Amino acid sequence: MTAIVDNIFDLFARFGAEGYGEDLSLEQHMLQSAALAQSLGAPPSAAAAALLHDIGYFLHVDAGGRADSGQDFEHEALGAAWLSRGFGEAVTAPVALHVEAKRYLCAVEPGYFDQLSDASKLSLSVQGGVMSKAEAAAFEALPAFASAILLRRCDDRGKDMGAEVRPLRSYRTLLIECLRETAD
C-alpha cells in the first residue's frame, strides 16, 4: 500500500519544479498549502489533501502536457482518481472539489474573486466560471463541503514566494498514516 507514497515522491522529484501559471513551483505551492492546513489545526487527512491537491498537474505533465497551458484538463478529477488507489474520500474528495470550491466562493463571498491571483482568475474562466445559485446550494450539501473550502483557502494562501516550508520528506509519515486511516 505504501507504493503509492513512493509514487507521489517520485512525481514530486520529476515534476515539482514545474510552473503552473503562478510565480512559484508546484512543489513549493503544494508544500505551503499543506503547512497552512496544519497551522490551522486541520486533521491529517486535510493536510494530506492540501499537500496533494494539485498532483493532477504532475500526472498531466507526465502524459506530455504542460501544467501552465491555460487549458482545463480537470487536474482535480485526474488527481483525485489517481489518489483513490491508496487514499479514501477524506483525502480524495477535497482534492476533487477544490476547483468547485473556488467557483463557489466566487459566487457567495463578496470580494473573494478580487483577492485571487491573476492565474486563478484566468483558470476560473476555463473551469466553469462563477457558480449559479443552484450550483452553490448543491455544493453546500456535499459531505466534503467544509473540507473542500478549507483546502481552497490553503490553496489560495499557499502562493507566497518568500515562504519557508518543510521539505516533502517530512510528510512521508503523515501520508502513510492517512493510507491506514482512510484507505477503502
Of 119-123, 144-148, 174-178, the poorest mean pLDDT is in 119-123
Cβ atoms of residues 83 and 93 within 8 Å = no
**Domain 3-182 classified CATH 3.10.129.10?**
no
pLDDT for res 183: 39
What rounded mean pLDDT belongs to the chain?
A: 90
**Each residue of 25-34: pLDDT tens digit?**
999 999 999 9
Question: Could you tell me which of 55, 89, 87, 52 has the C-alpha nearest to residue 74?
Answer: 55
**Each residue of 51-110: pLDDT tens digit?**
999 999 898 765 555 544 455 568 899 999 999 999 999 999 999 999 999 999 999 999
Cβ atoms of residues 168 and 43 within 8 Å = no
Predicted TM-score (pTM) above 0.85:
yes
Segment 3-18 shows an average pLDDT of: 95
pLDDT for res 18: 85
How far, in Å, CA of 16 to CA of 136, rounded? Answer: 33
Sorting pLDDT into bands at 50, 70 and 90, what band is 44? very high
What percentage of the chain has pLDDT greater than the value 90? 76
Question: Could you tell me which of 177, 97, 100 has the C-alpha nearest to residue 144?
Answer: 97
Buried b (16+ CB within 10 A) or exposed e, 67-79: bbeeeebebbebb
How far, in Å, CA of 64 to CA of 91, rounded? Answer: 26
User: How close are the terminal C-alpha atoms of the chain, in Å?
Assistant: 11
Write down the domain spans for the chain: 3-182
Of 8-22, 62-76, 104-118, 157-171, the poorest mean pLDDT is in 62-76
